[in-house]
Amino acid sequence: MYYRGNIDPSNPSGFYMAVGYDGTFEGLLTIIFLHYYEKLDAGIVVEEKNGLSADYPRLIFTEYVSVETDYEKAERVLAGLRKKSAEAAENLFAAFLCASRDATELYRYAVLVFSKGKAAENFEATDCVRAVHNAAQTSQYEAHRYTGFIRFTETERGVLYAKFEPVNRVLALVAPHFASRMPGEKWVIEDRAHREAAIYDGNELMITEIESRGAAVPGEVEDKYERLWGLFVDTIAVEGRMSEKRRNQIFPKRFRKFLPEFKKDF
């Protein structure tokens, strides 16, 4: 579909192109591939939902192109980015995981990296570099916090299971940490906010989408240990020295939902 017009106040003399993609990282990389090999010059990049741009109302006077994700092309772009700058490729991926990401700025950042290489990271005054760095830091900070706040439960089948609800889609940043720390264990981490799960069989790590929220049943021994842990936490707490304000600063409430030490039924 194509819609022509002029709604860009910064470009009053001509038209510009809006490019839609499916919202995946590979979809974004495909747009970058087309920029170089098919001269696709995106003025704005938007995520599509159900085949139509989520930003469609404000794009009806713009030339609009929908891009189909090509995983082979995406892999070539990612390899090229890593060759130009491994740090930039890491930042781009982390920024993509941020809930408040701007796909247009991510696209412009990648184009800049291909042009300037490692030096692109020094262009802090450039909007796209600043936007990517801020988004990447947001995702990486949340992922770092969750590496200390995720709790596993041993299920009846002997598989370790944990669940969390991050603001950003950071499972891909969190899961490798536990694969490295617990290489001999079999475990599953479920991201309930984004309906995906990391599955580790002791050798290979896989992240997949999930259709529904399954309830893992803890084993009898695990349930006893969980209750003992809760009693221990309650016992060592000194009521007179408790500061809810300080605790909220160190341990925000949104991280507590699935932690056994914050359950009240011990």
Q: pLDDT digit string (tens) for 30-78?
A: 999 999 999 888 888 988 875 556 665 555 556 888 899 999 999 999 9
177 and 131, same domain (yes or no)? no
50 and 109, same domain (yes or no)? yes
User: Which residue type does 243 have?
Assistant: S
Model confidence at 7: pLDDT above 50: no
Q: How far apart are CA 137 and CA 91, in angstroms?
A: 8
Q: pTM for the complete prediction?
A: 0.79
Residue 234 belongs to domain spanning: 150-262
Q: How far apart are CA 118 and CA 113, in angstroms?
A: 7
Dihedral angle sign, alpha carbons of residues 98, 101, 104, 105: negative
189 and 128, same domain (yes or no)? no
- In terms of Cβ atoms closer than 10 Å to its own Cβ (0-12, 13-18, 19+), residue 221 is exposed
183 and 248, same domain (yes or no)? yes
- pLDDT for position 2: 30
136 and 198, same domain (yes or no)? no
48-63 core/surface letters (b: 16 or more CB in 10 A; e: else): beeeebebbeebeebb
Model confidence at 5: pLDDT above 80: no
- What backbone phi and psi angles, to 5 degrees, belong to 218? -70, 150
8 falls within a domain: no
Model confidence at 4: pLDDT above 80: no
Model confidence at 223: pLDDT above 70: no
9 falls within a domain: no
- Least confident interval from 25-29, 135-139, 192-196: 192-196
92 and 65, same domain (yes or no)? yes
Last-in-domain residue among 141, 167, 190: 141
Last-in-domain residue among 141, 170, 188: 141
Q: In this structure, what token pair is assigned to residue 224? A: 């006893």
Do residues 84 and 110 touch, judged by C-beta distance below 8 A? no
164 and 190, same domain (yes or no)? yes
- pLDDT for position 153: 84
109 and 137, same domain (yes or no)? yes
The pLDDT of 235-264, averaged and rounded, is 65
Name the residue with higher pLDDT: 139 or 10.
Answer: 139
- Least confident interval from 26-40, 45-59, 224-238, 250-264: 224-238
Mean pLDDT score of the chain, rounded to an integer?
Answer: 81
105 and 171, same domain (yes or no)? no
Model confidence at 226: pLDDT above 80: no
Give percent of the chain above pLDDT 70: 71
Do residues 145 and 256 touch, judged by C-beta distance below 8 A? no
How many domains are contained in the chain? Answer: 2
- pLDDT for position 24: 95
> What DSSP state is assigned to residue 38?
S
Q: How far apart are CA 130 and CA 229, in angstroms?
A: 43
- pLDDT for position 214: 55
Model confidence at 131: pLDDT above 90: yes
Compute the radius of gyration of the chain from its Cα atoms.
22
Last-in-domain residue among 141, 159, 177: 141
Helix, strand, coil shares, percent, the chain, to 5: 50, 15, 35
Give percent of the chain above pLDDT 90: 53
173 and 203, same domain (yes or no)? yes
169 and 220, same domain (yes or no)? yes
- pLDDT for position 261: 64
109 and 162, same domain (yes or no)? no
**Could you tell me where the DSSP H helices lie in 40-117?**
71-84, 86-96, 103-116
Q: pLDDT digit string (tens) for 143-186?
A: 999 998 898 888 878 888 999 999 999 999 999 999 999 998 99
